[in-house]
Structure 1
């Protein structure tokens, strides 16, 4: 018989609070707050399996009834958030953002938002996800995809329990292996063996790497049903394992920093999953942990946790979309505080009424769900069409801002020409005969910007140029120290391979000019004089170091439908750490080889940087990387002034 447990509601609060704080940016203390979703998966697997198993035992399990309960539980509050988010998106999103929002709505209605985000490949742990109001719906999609199959298996194998358990154990082990496939085995390197190489986001978003978490909850439900009450664990044993579960969750929330652990999920995910499992198994009301989880306030947060999960991301995302800079701490705290009263209202007036079978019958629930799905699809299509119309209208008015942003204000533009040239691994044999010199450009996305400067301004026409990419997390460094000590653990494999300047040495030996451009870190900047010395350049070779750049936090949406005069007046302060690193480079490197981009470009009041060119064109779409016009503008400045004017 299924028994309602207050402490499970308390565990829900333990899951949702770290997620909210993590998304709010409190990553210093909640670096692994995203594992709250993994705790939710275990709870969901336990609760739903308990109900299904109980109904199968009584011979009254019905797939229609099961999906009716899912509709009552999931859809009403979800549709509320989708409708409200659509209003804000329509008013405040850029056309391209609005178009992606509409596509996301379609994916959500089709229960496949996780597949959509995987296909878009934005990455859950990127800054882009902070601006996506519906990124969190991926976990709902994972659950619903799982529950399309799991109840069927329970139904068909109701009288063959042993076969069902064997099948589910096999599926759980395979899922755990797949999660590890995209996780920390991907970070191992033994000579030429690189472990597995499944894309990490595939395991993060898709159910393949998550099934085992839901099945852990299911196995707990199976175990508790057949547990022999005569072999009850002692009170001390329950206390110990319940406390161990809490410690594992705390360790996960505090310690599983996505910058330090391999791509999630992986074997590290066992920590929060085990913690949640131990609490469900042992934290009964007569234990200390069970008592704490059953406290009224803790339970209350757990009861509204689904609404809180739905509300928090749109509120935070739209705050960031509307802000001209990174939202201040007090605004973030206000938004977090708003989550709970809003969640209570949606729980009381949306969730609870629709769960009441006396107020809404099965036919009404399915009819309302179908109607809301249709309305959501209409909103999605309207969003996509509105985005297209806005872009066309702006172009017809003669304002090319949106079309420029779409064509040249993105990563595709930044990397395009650099990546095409990188396929050429050596210099031509005809360089000398053509009267040209040889130059090699080495670095990360900032080097890609430099190459775009060269292309847009038609600079260095008398040079044959080759490029070599070194990922910014790896940095440009030569020396006796092991650079892994300065690099985040999850990037060790990447930085062990081609992302190392030592592999560019054959090109350097052939070049007349070597240009190093990077988003310099303090540790690499301090060691750059040593790196330059170890390049062992001849007296006929020249080397130049291009400093880092930053134009402040840029929100392109703020400048739609603004006049050219208004745009030209926009100046912002760059990141302090970028300025500090450039100052460090200026002190340690000779003036005739260092290009201080910030000092040349940011000449506004109090060392502020222009956001637009004198012609009113956006310089940087994200504050760090250049648009087509930004590349032309900045390139004109640095190549016409010392020291690059000598080239």
Structure 2
């Protein structure tokens, strides 16, 4: 056992990995378990600072190459094993369409940059969300490795500038500044760009430095058992509070991230006692020690196993399948730890010169990176070769997105896009989110551009309901939506408009009253300048990604890519909004469900035309065929009002 080994820290590692796995596998009561990563960050800051500072005090320097070699030897072998193993499993068990982005993510993970990749990979609204990527969990390894790269350089800088007790004081001051600056940046980015705050090392550095400060402040002290018990109990209560207070829809990391960070700091401090407390005894139990030793490997395997398995069967919410996958991942962790981690970390490789260890590690990283990038390229080529029509369908979006009409959550600027003759005698407006905007090609086919001009005002994921809401994809209140919507309606009130086509999704978690009253407020304001308003029904959705399902099963088995019209919430919201439309003198209800899903059956492909470009948005080619359907309904309303 290493000289400075602490069983309570090993037990804390077990707690951290159990929380993360419980959250990812949707174990009831542990939705906030993703804070286990925060625990890992604080522990890393504590342990690495201790290792570096003890070496600096003993030798007056830090053997950087040895430190980096030790870190790479500790982390890279298991990571490489997981990357290769997961990729082979995906390649043999899944269709290319089901792992199309895994190659790039694996390539970035091999060089410890996946956190940067995931920060910027989701900037396109219609891109696949990263939450379904089997390598998503490697973002935290990227953050840690970037921390390991810089931390010894900071301490070494202090070592060569200060001596004696002044050295520790200087390091405390430096890390205190880092903590404050990083925390401020984290809080700021959490409300502006949550992805950056969540994934990037600079906005997570305060958690590492918090752990470092605990080590620096407590390294020369031993606390009494009663004091340790009080501190440990406080840390435990904070940790429990964090688990239940932090929900998946919370703005995170933000102020709430202080809870698990402070909890871990207190628990680390509580371990500085000569006599073990009840909390320390629990953390030192053999099962906790075993799981603590396996925590790295188990963390590596649990997520890709879950994501790959869910492409084949239901895992989350199914107790039996959850238990089976957990057992498989734990077995994989045990084998990786025994056969890969320990032999390379403590075997012959550890006795090689640090520079050769680093050269070998860099070679492996480069090789993996190039191979995974090549795999990604081949996957894309294979998809294009085998399923060109389906691949094209995924990109079959309205041309308005090429013209910069929609900036999603990046800003709240109003950017009207105008089509047709600018001096046309009649004006139509398409106002909505991406579900409303998808009907653009139907309107352009329906309206004679010699007599009509079409104004497009769209903001993705911005509901045409005058209510504030939390947007889960950006993990905060979608303030840009409310600001943009207000600008759009104010601007439209000043325009002479013949027809307004208003549409958005029905998936938002508004109450019935919010749906109706929030929609009514918008309709009342638009009615001041519009002769007629057509409220578009949010079309039913597929339970699968349409083109991907067709790629996987082929045209001869397209029956597997269909489902009854729904979900139920869409039908319910449609009933609510239809009543609102019928109560407004200028508003007419424009149904879409029967056109998209005739007979109550939604299909990915019908009569040779791909209907959906994902699971909810329709292809522009299919939408264009809706022009006669819409025109017939509009003419019916106009004749009735004459």
Normalising by the smaller structure, the TM-score range is 0.7 to 0.9
Distance 1:142 1:237, change over 3 A: same
Distance 1:355 1:490, change over 3 A: same
Distance 1:84 1:453, change over 3 A: farther
Kept after mapping to 1: 8 A contact 2:406/2:459: no
Kept after mapping to 1: 8 A contact 2:493/2:526: no
Picking from 580, 584, 591, the partner of 1:596 is: 591
Report the counterpart of residue 396 of structure 2 in structure 1. Answer: 408
Equivalent-residue separation in structure 2 for 1:637 and 1:320 (angstroms): 41
How many Å apart are 1:267 and its aligned residue?
A: 2.9
Residue 297 (1) aligns with residue 298 (2)? no
Report the counterpart of residue 440 of structure 2 in structure 1. Answer: 451
Equivalent-residue separation in structure 1 for 2:419 and 2:360 (angstroms): 68
Report the counterpart of residue 171 of structure 2 in structure 1. Answer: 164
Residue 384 (1) aligns with residue 373 (2)? no
Picking from 628, 634, 641, the partner of 2:620 is: 628
Picking from 223, 235, 253, the partner of 1:265 is: 253
Kept after mapping to 1: 8 A contact 2:239/2:264: yes
Kept after mapping to 1: 8 A contact 2:238/2:260: yes
How many Å apart are 1:601 and its aligned residue?
A: 2.4
Equivalent-residue separation in structure 1 for 2:215 and 2:348 (angstroms): 29
Residue 580 (1) aligns with residue 580 (2)? no
Equivalent-residue separation in structure 1 for 2:428 and 2:256 (angstroms): 45
How many Å apart are 1:42 and its aligned residue?
A: 0.3
- Cα deviation 1:91-128 (Å, max 9, x = unaligned): 4666677564333233223322222222323599x972
Equivalent-residue separation in structure 2 for 1:644 and 1:204 (angstroms): 51
Equivalent-residue separation in structure 1 for 2:300 and 2:49 (angstroms): 23
> Greater shift after overlay, 584-593 or 174-183?
584-593
Aligned residues: 608
How many Å apart are 1:134 and its aligned residue?
A: 0.9
Write out aligned runs for 1:447-526 (5 A). 447-455=436-444, 457=445, 459=447, 461=449, 462-469=451-458, 472=461, 475-477=464-466, 483-484=467-468, 490-491=476-477, 493-500=479-486, 503-504=489-490, 506-507=492-493, 510-520=496-506, 521=508, 522-523=510-511, 524-526=514-516
> Greater shift after overlay, 578-587 or 489-498?
489-498
Equivalent-residue separation in structure 2 for 1:47 and 1:569 (angstroms): 52
Q: Secondary structure at the match of 2:535?
A: strand
TM-score, normalising length from structure 2? 0.84
Distance 1:392 1:637, change over 3 A: same
Distance 1:621 1:317, change over 3 A: farther
Distance 1:110 1:439, change over 3 A: same
Q: Secondary structure at the match of 2:247?
A: coil
Q: Secondary structure at the match of 1:545?
A: strand
Structure 2 residue runs without a partner (length 5+): 408-412
Picking from 306, 319, 331, the partner of 1:341 is: 331
Structure 1 residue runs without a partner (length 5+): 187-198, 478-482
> Greater shift after overlay, 519-528 or 10-19?
519-528
Report the counterpart of residue 225 of structure 2 in structure 1. Answer: 235
Report the counterpart of residue 527 of structure 1 in structure 2. Answer: 517
Q: Secondary structure at the match of 1:226?
A: coil
Distance 1:428 1:460, change over 3 A: closer
Q: Secondary structure at the match of 1:542?
A: strand
> Greater shift after overlay, 270-279 or 327-336?
327-336
Distance 1:645 1:62, change over 3 A: farther
Residue 137 (1) aligns with residue 126 (2)? no
How many Å apart are 1:582 and its aligned residue?
A: 1.8
Picking from 581, 606, 609, the partner of 1:613 is: 606
How many Å apart are 1:32 and its aligned residue?
A: 2.5
TM-score, normalising length from structure 1? 0.83
How many Å apart are 1:41 and its aligned residue?
A: 0.3
Equivalent-residue separation in structure 2 for 1:355 and 1:559 (angstroms): 46
How many Å apart are 1:78 and its aligned residue?
A: 0.3
Write out aligned runs for 1:337-376 (5 A). 337-357=327-347, 361-363=351-353, 365-366=357-358, 369-376=361-368
Equivalent-residue separation in structure 2 for 1:559 and 1:430 (angstroms): 40
Residue 251 (1) aligns with residue 241 (2)? yes
Q: Secondary structure at the match of 2:79?
A: helix
How many Å apart are 1:287 and its aligned residue?
A: 2.1
Equivalent-residue separation in structure 1 for 2:366 and 2:632 (angstroms): 60
Kept after mapping to 1: 8 A contact 2:97/2:548: no
Write out aligned runs for 1:549-564 (5 A). 549-555=539-545, 556-560=547-551, 563-564=554-555
- Cα deviation 1:259-292 (Å, max 9, x = unaligned): 232xx33332211100110011014563222222
> Greater shift after overlay, 591-600 or 446-455?
591-600
Picking from 589, 614, 639, the partner of 2:630 is: 639
Distance 1:473 1:215, change over 3 A: same
How many Å apart are 1:221 and its aligned residue?
A: 1.5
Report the counterpart of residue 195 of structure 2 in structure 1. Answer: 201
Report the counterpart of residue 194 of structure 1 in structure 2. Answer: none
Kept after mapping to 1: 8 A contact 2:544/2:615: yes
